[in-house]
Amino acid sequence: MAVFTAVGLGDLTQWIKQFPLGNALALKGIASGIENSNFFLTTERGEYVLTIFENLSFQQLPFYLNLMRHLALRGIPVPAPVANDQGELVVPLQDKPAAIVSKLEGSSQMAPLPAHCAAVGAMLARMHLAGRDFPMQQPNLRGLDWWNETTPKVLPYLDDARAHLLRAEMHFQEAFHGCAPYAALPRGPVHADLFRNNVMFVGERLTGFFDFYFAGCDTWLFDVAVTVNDWCIDLNSGAIDVARARAMLDAYHAERPFTHAEHASWQPMLRAAALRFWLSRLFDFHQPREAEMLTPHDPGHFERILRERIATPAPELFHE
């Protein structure tokens, strides 16, 4: 992710000794994303990722890191957090919370084929099932409450057409989130940000999901919608690629069959997932933070996706 907090190898000389990793040998900033400061860390014991958290607090972070540990112990390929000699997963560095996790094998697949989408769909379903007995609770911090809080902050920057779209969609989503099918949706821990750059592959073999720092407890269908809206679209238009979407949804359904309430909620949930990222990108674009390596994402991308989801129904979750 973007580097907000500068850290050099010398800063880790003493700090790293609390972990069972040996000495730090190399440190390289990761120049993507906009939330935390991330570094590739090489130690005498191997390759890891060091994250310094810029927004999340010491109190919030145990949810994310314990969720990753919980999933890893159940065979889901996610980065495993490394505890220090006191058993702590979150420790201070440069007066901010920090954590070390294992580095996944492979690279992101930025031009996915249906086979990649099927692998993601199957693993997402397994992840949802593996998280059912996770004991900690935390809401999705970028859910409806955050949308209501953020909308008035971005409206002054929008022209009339975009402001009308945002207000209208917020009214639609308020009604959707209050309806009976929504209340019946299965829930549990969700990744909530499973974009192409947060999944690793070696060829067509999925080697892991990472960047769980938007995770929370929400509807599983929201997680599916976020994922389809990134993996299964034409990037220029935002239109659904039917072959990729069908591959992802069928593979998910084979692992955890979708419910009838999910089937009824699918089209509005795709709109909800598009709105969430349009809002966050509007906020980051118009009220940016300073960082050494930071390029805010284009809000227009998710505006196009939202308009496309409103105009054109996506493939159904399953055939009744």
The confidence band for 3, taking pLDDT boundaries of 50, 70 and 90, is low
The pLDDT assigned to 1 comes to 41
Residue 284 predicted with pLDDT over 80: yes
Give per-residue pLDDT as tens, 239-282: 999 999 999 999 999 999 999 999 999 999 999 999 999 999 99
Residue 290 predicted with pLDDT over 70: no
Give per-residue pLDDT as tens, 154-176: 999 999 999 999 999 999 999 99
CA dist., res. 109 & res. 118, Å (int): 13
CB atoms under 10 Å from CB of 307, counted, come to: 17
**CATH 3.30.200.20 given to domain 9-102:** yes
The pLDDT assigned to 294 comes to 54
Q: Which two tokens stand for residue 288?
A: 């940016």
Backbone dihedral angles phi then psi of residue 200, each to the nearest 5 degrees: -110, 145
The confidence band for 6, taking pLDDT boundaries of 50, 70 and 90, is confident
Helix (H), strand (E), coil (C) string for the chain:
CCCCCCCCHHHHCCHHHHCCCCCEEEEEECCCCCCCEEEEEEECCEEEEEEECCCCCCCCHHHHHHHHHHHHHCCCCCCCECCCCCCCCCEEECCEEEEEEECCCCECCCCCCHHHHHHHHHHHHHHHHHCCCCCCCCECCCCHHHHHHHHHHHHHHCCHHHHHHHHHHHHHHHHHHCCHHHHCCCEEEECCCCCHHHEEEECCEEEEECCCCCCEEEEHHHHHHHHHHHHCECCCCCCECHHHHHHHHHHHHHHCCCCHHHHHHHHHHHHHHHHHHHHHHHHHHHCCCCCCCCCCCCHHHHHHHHHHHHHCCCCCCCCC
Q: What are the domain boundaries of the chain?
A: 9-102, 114-311
* Average pLDDT of the residues in 94-111: 97
Please, what CATH class does the domain formed by 114-311 belong to?
alpha beta
Sorted by sequence, the CB contacts under 8 Å of residue 290 that are 6+ apart come out as: 4
Calculate the alpha carbon distances from 143 to 113, 148, 220, 223, 224 in Å. 30, 9, 13, 12, 15
Q: Answer whether 297's CB lies under 8 Å from 281's CB.
A: yes
The confidence band for 12, taking pLDDT boundaries of 50, 70 and 90, is very high
* Average pLDDT of the residues in 66-70: 98
Give per-residue pLDDT as tens, 126-158: 999 999 999 999 999 999 999 999 999 999 999
Percent of the chain with pLDDT over 90: 91
The pLDDT assigned to 293 comes to 43
CA dihedral 226→228→229→232, nearest 10 degrees, is 160
